Amino acid sequence: MTAERLVVVGGDAAGMAAASQARRLRKPDELTITAFERSHFTSYSACGIPYWVGGVVDGPDALIARTAEEHRSRDIDLRMRTEVTELDLDRGRVRARALDDGGREYWTGFDKLVLATGARPRRPDLPGIDAPGVHGVQNLDDGQALLDTLEKSAGRRAVVVGAGYIGVEMAEALIRRGYGVTVLEQSPQPMTTLDPDMGALVHEAMCGMGIETVRGATVTGVLTDGGGRARAVTTEDAEYPADVVVLGMGVRPETTLAAAAGLPLGDAGGLLTDLAMRVRGHDHIWAGGDCVEVLDLVSGRTRHIALGTHANKHGQVIGANVGGGYATFPGVVGTAVSKVCDLEIARTGLLEREAHAAGLRFVTATIEATGRAGYYPGARPLHVKMLAERRTGRLLGVQIVGHEGAGKRVDIAAVALTAGMTVEQMTALDLGYAPPFSPVWDPVLVAARKASGAVRAAGG
C-alpha cells in the first residue's frame, strides 16, 4: 500500500494542530504529512504578541507552543520559510517557493489538502502606509519587526490606527514601553465589537489610562521624514506625530490562493466549509483557522472571526477527520474577551446592529453591578448589557465591561447561548456565589432579570 499524501498550507495553530492530530491517528507508512510555512515561526500564539511587545512576556520563544524541530521529530515534514504560491486542484499538487533558497519553486502532490493560510491585517491603500515604521502585528515576524523599530526609535510617540482588540492591546503595550499613545478610531466609539454605549465605557476608561483616543478619525495617510520613515499620521482634521505607527484595523481572511483555485468564499472573504471543516464541494480539502468563515449559531450566518482558540479547535477537528476519525465544529456564538490595562472587555452573541441585520426583534437591558460582594475589598463596577429576542425571550447576546472578574463572566452567557436558553431561564442559573467571587445576585443574573422583565413588558 502506498501512503496517502497530506499537504498542509500554513504552519500555525490550525495547520499544525491538524497535522499533529492526523499524525496521532495515522502512522507515516499510512500517511505522509508535508506542511509549508512562509514565516520563520510555527505553532505560535499571535494573541501573545501585544504582551511580548509590552514586555509582559518574553518572546518570541515563549509564544511558540511547538517548534519546527518538535514537529519534525513527529514525522511531519515541515518546510519553514516556504510559501505556497499556487493550488493545482486538478492535478492534486501545490507549487511552493523556498524563500531562503533563492526563491526556488517546486511542485508537491497531495491526496488530501489542508488550507490554513490565516489572515492578513487590513492595510488601507493610503499614501505612506508601507513606509518603514508602520507595522501590522499578525505574526511573530511582525512582532519582531515592531520591536526592532521600537529599539531603534529615539522618540516616544506612538499612533495606533484602530481601536479594536489588537488596537487597545497594542495601546497598552506601548504605554508599558513608555510611549505616549494616540489611538485613532474611525467609529464614534472604540471597540466596534461592542455596541456604542458599551464602547463609550471603554473610551472613558482609556482616557483615564492616559491613552489619547480620537473618535471619528478617518486616517488619510502617513507622512514620512527625509529618510522615508513614518513621522506622522494624518486624518481629515489633524496630524499626529508618530515615531511608530501600529495598524490595528483588524484582519481579513488570507484566501488569495483559494480564490485563484476557485474554492468557495463567503461574504467576508473566508473559505466556506461544512461541519467537518471540509471545503464545501471538495471531499479531500479541509480548511480551518483564520482563513475560514464559521457558522454563527445565533444569527444562522457565517462570519469571519480570527481567534486562536477557534483555529486550534478547527485543527483538532480536521486532523481527526483526515486521520480517519470523526469530529465536527458546530459553530461559534461570537465570544471574545480582551483587556486594556485593568479594564476587561467581553462580548458574546450578537450586538444590536448584528441582531437587526439578522432580522431579529429584541429588547435590551443594561445594568451596573460589582464583580464581588459590594462590601468585599476590590469590588469594582462592572457593566452588563444583554439582548433578548422579543416573544421567545431567547438570549441573543451579552456585553460586559468592567474590572477583575468581568471578562470571563461572559462564558456564562456563551454556554447559555449555545444551549438556546431564554433570559427567564437564566435568572434561575445556579452560579457560584461567595463574597470574594460575586454579589449574592451575580451581575449576569441581575441583567437576565432585567432583560426578562423587558421581554414581558414588550409583549408581542
**Does the footprint of a copy of itself cover residue 307 (CB under 8 A)?**
yes
Distance CA 133, CA 364 (A): 43
**Does the footprint of a copy of itself cover residue 377 (CB under 8 A)?**
yes
To the nearest whole angstrom, how small is the minimum distance from the Cβ of residue 89 to a copy of itself? 29
Are residues 405 and 437 in contact, defined by beta-carbon separation less than 8 angstroms? yes
Are residues 190 and 168 in contact, defined by beta-carbon separation less than 8 angstroms? yes
Can you tell me whether residue 222 is helix, strand or coil? strand
C-alpha cell at 340: 486594556
**Does the footprint of a copy of itself cover residue 177 (CB under 8 A)?**
no
Torsion sign across C-alpha atoms 400, 401, 403, 408: positive
To the nearest whole angstrom, how small is the minimum distance from the Cβ of residue 413 to a copy of itself? 9
To the nearest whole angstrom, how small is the minimum distance from the Cβ of residue 389 to a copy of itself? 17
The site for a copy of itself, by CB under 8 A, has a size of: 65
To the nearest whole angstrom, how small is the minimum distance from the Cβ of residue 353 to a copy of itself? 20
Distance CA 158, CA 178 (A): 10
Q: Which residue has the cell 502606509?
A: 129
C-alpha cell at 357: 441585520
Catalytic, 341? Answer no
**Does the footprint of a copy of itself cover residue 309 (CB under 8 A)?**
yes
To the nearest whole angstrom, how small is the minimum distance from the Cβ of residue 433 to a copy of itself? 4
Are residues 136 and 142 in contact, defined by beta-carbon separation less than 8 angstroms? yes
Q: Both ends of the chain: CA-CA distance in Å?
A: 65
Q: Which of residues 131-170 bind a copy of itself (CB under 8 A)?
A: 165
Site map 57..76 versus a copy of itself, x via CB under 8 A? xx---xx-x-----------
Q: Among 118, 121, 167, 334, which residue sits at the site for a copy of itself (rule: CB under 8 A)?
A: 334
**Does the footprint of a copy of itself cover residue 440 (CB under 8 A)?**
yes
Q: Among 24, 28, 29, 56, which residue sits at the site for a copy of itself (rule: CB under 8 A)?
A: 56
**Does the footprint of a copy of itself cover residue 399 (CB under 8 A)?**
no
Distance CA 117, CA 437 (A): 41
Q: Using CB atoms within 10 A of its CB, is residue 301 exposed (0-12), middle (13-18) or buried (19+)?
A: middle
Q: Among 149, 189, 312, 321, which residue sits at the site for a copy of itself (rule: CB under 8 A)?
A: 312
Can you tell me whether residue 414 is helix, strand or coil? helix
**Does the footprint of a copy of itself cover residue 238 (CB under 8 A)?**
no
**Does the footprint of a copy of itself cover residue 330 (CB under 8 A)?**
yes
Can you tell me whether residue 321 is helix, strand or coil? helix
Q: Among 1, 428, 457, 459, which residue sits at the site for a copy of itself (rule: CB under 8 A)?
A: 428
Binding segment for a copy of itself (CB under 8 A), chosen from 23-31, 262-270, 359-367, 432-440, is 432-440
Site map 402..421 versus a copy of itself, x via CB under 8 A? ---x-xxxxxx-xxx-xx-x
To the nearest whole angstrom, how small is the minimum distance from the Cβ of residue 65 to a copy of itself? 8
C-alpha cell at 205: 476608561
**Does the footprint of a copy of itself cover residue 346 (CB under 8 A)?**
yes
Q: Among 192, 273, 335, 370, which residue sits at the site for a copy of itself (rule: CB under 8 A)?
A: 335
Q: Which of 150, 162, 164, 121 is nearest to 52 (CA)?
A: 150
From the candidates 47, 207, 291, 341, give the one annotated as an active-site residue: 47
Q: Which of 435, 402, 392, 429 is nearest to 414 (CA)?
A: 429
**Does the footprint of a copy of itself cover residue 324 (CB under 8 A)?**
no
Are residues 165 and 48 in contact, defined by beta-carbon separation less than 8 angstroms? no
Torsion sign across C-alpha atoms 424, 430, 436, 441: positive
**Does the footprint of a copy of itself cover residue 437 (CB under 8 A)?**
yes
Our CB check for a copy of itself shows the closer of 58 and 69 to be 58
Q: Which of residues 260-299 bind a copy of itself (CB under 8 A)?
A: none
**Does the footprint of a copy of itself cover residue 48 (CB under 8 A)?**
yes
Are residues 240 and 182 in contact, defined by beta-carbon separation less than 8 angstroms? yes
Cβ-proximal residues to 222 (8 Å cutoff; 6+ apart), any chain: 126, 127, 128, 129, 131, 134, 230, 232, 233, 234, 242, 245
Are residues 247 and 134 in contact, defined by beta-carbon separation less than 8 angstroms? yes
**Does the footprint of a copy of itself cover residue 339 (CB under 8 A)?**
yes
C-alpha cell at 197: 454605549
To the nearest whole angstrom, how small is the minimum distance from the Cβ of residue 329 to a copy of itself? 6
- Could you list the active site residues? 47
Which chain residues interact with a copy of itself by CB under 8 A? 13, 45, 47-48, 51, 56-58, 62-63, 65, 165, 307-310, 312-313, 328-330, 332-339, 344, 346, 348, 373, 375-377, 405, 407-412, 414-416, 418-419, 421, 425, 427-438, 440-442
